[in-house]
Amino acid sequence: FEAVDSDLNELIRLLKVAMDSNKNHILSSVNGLSSSSIASNVTILVIMIVMTLVLTRLICGPLQLVVEQANSIAKGDLSKDIDRKLIGNDELGELADATTKMQNDLRQVIDNVIAAVTQLSSAVEEMNQISELSASGMKDQQLQITHVATAMTEMKAAVADVARNTEESASQANDANHR
């Protein structure tokens, strides 16, 4: 029985040694895994920060150009153009194209308004000249009508004198005949 007891004690001792060896191996693996995990997390964090900075520059730079152009348009300055080479062909590029089209359309509208105002100004100038000519012509006509009216009044007076003189002559002739 002592032999079995001695064998069991030997087996327990061997198991304890094996367990200690496994425990040490597991602990060293866990420590190595923990170190690897920390290194991986730091690497991922650095990569994410770099990607964030790069994406921010790729998005914010072109977006700032579009915002500056929109602010210029809002202030009435249609002379500022976007350097399209600085903006990609993505949604920001489409936004830049739309803003540039809006700016060009506004320029065209303003040019059309200026042309219409210039044409209207010319037409008003012509109308003023025509009105002045008409007013001058009307003054001349009024003066001529006044002269005609004066002449007619004088003719009426002359006709009245002739009629009176004729009547007097007729009356004198009649008197001379009766005598």
The string over 3-29, giving b where at least 16 C-beta atoms fall within 10 Å of a residue's C-beta and e elsewhere, is: eeeeeeeeeeeeeeeeeeeeeeeeeee
State mean pLDDT over 68-88: 88
Q: In the prediction, which pLDDT does 125 show? A: 95
| pLDDT at site 92 | 87
* Secondary structure (3-state) at 91: helix
- For 93-108, the pLDDT digits (tens) are 999 999 999 999 999 9
Question: Which domain, by its residues, includes 49?
Answer: 2-137
Q: Establish if 80 belongs to a structural domain.
A: yes
pLDDT in tens, 4-19: 888 888 888 898 988 9
Positive/negative CA dihedral, 81, 85, 86, 88: positive
Q: Residues 33, 37, 39, 44: is their CA dihedral positive or negative?
A: positive
User: What's the pLDDT band for 85 if we cut at 50, 70, 90?
Assistant: confident
**Does position 128 have pLDDT exceeding 80, yes or no?**
yes
Query: What is the pLDDT at residue 56?
Result: 87
Query: Residue 145 domain-assigned?
Result: no
- 1 pLDDT higher than 80: no
Exposure of 33 in the CB half-sphere (CA atoms within 13 A): 6
In which band, very low, low, confident or very high, does the pLDDT at 120 lie, cut at 50, 70 and 90? Answer: very high
Both structure tokens of 64: 């700032």
Using DSSP's 3-state secondary structure scheme, residue 70 falls into helix
Does 98 map to a domain? yes
pLDDT (0 to 100) of residue 101:
94
Q: Please indicate, yes or no, if residue 122 is contained in any of the structural domains.
A: yes
How many folded domains does the chain comprise?
Answer: 1
What pLDDT does 62 receive?
87
Q: Which pair of tokens denotes residue 116?
A: 């219409």
